[in-house]
Amino acid sequence: DTAVSQTPKYLVTQMGNDKSIKCEQNLGHDTMYWYKQDSKKFLKIMFSYNNKELIINETVPNRFSPKSPDKAHLNLHINSLELGDSAVYFCASSQGAGSNSPLHFGNGTRLTVT
């Protein structure tokens, strides 16, 4: 029943490791996003895909690589993790890029880098 689901919910890892977060939506939406929420709770867009095509790539280190195998899935791979990557990462979806429709968020993945 879950509309936007992401795994894992928690991720604790050491500096230098590589990790992935997976996201799936069953809303039939065309557009998916990754947002990062830092310790001050500020939500900042990282990437957006529309029908598997990258349409937004904010100023994010190239250690972060998103991948969308189909329009219902959007994964995020992070290489060489750093302390500053610790945050909550939210996947979201919306009806379509440019449609001005609201975002539907997953439950978030809390990443802690030690």
Partner 1 sequence: QKEVEQNSGPLSVPEGAIASLNCTYSDRGSQSFFWYRQYSGKSPELIMSIYSNGDKEDGRFTAQLNKASQYVSLLIRDSQPSDSATYLCAVTDTGGFKTIFGAGTRLFVKA
4-24: b (≥16 Cβ within 10 Å) or e: bebeeeebebeeeeebebbbb
Q: Decide if 91 contacts 74 (C-beta within 8 A).
A: yes
Q: Among residues 58 and 82, whose Cβ is nearest to partner 1?
A: 58
The span of 16-24, 62-70, 77-85, 104-112 binding partner 1 (CB under 8 A) equals 104-112
The span of 17-25, 61-69, 77-85, 100-108 binding partner 1 (CB under 8 A) equals 100-108
Q: Does 16 bind partner 1 (CB under 8 A)?
A: no
Contact map string, positions 74 to 93, toward partner 1, x by CB under 8 A: ----------------x---
Q: Among residues 14 and 39, whose Cβ is nearest to partner 1?
A: 39
Task: Reduce the DSSP state of residue 38 to 3 states and report it.
Answer: coil
Q: How far apart are the first and last CA of the chain?
A: 34
Closest approach of Cβ 18 to partner 1, in Å? 25
In angstroms, the Cα distances linking 35 to 1, 87, 101 are 22, 10, 16
Binding residues for partner 1, rule: CB under 8 A, are: 33, 35, 40-45, 48, 55-56, 90, 94, 97-108
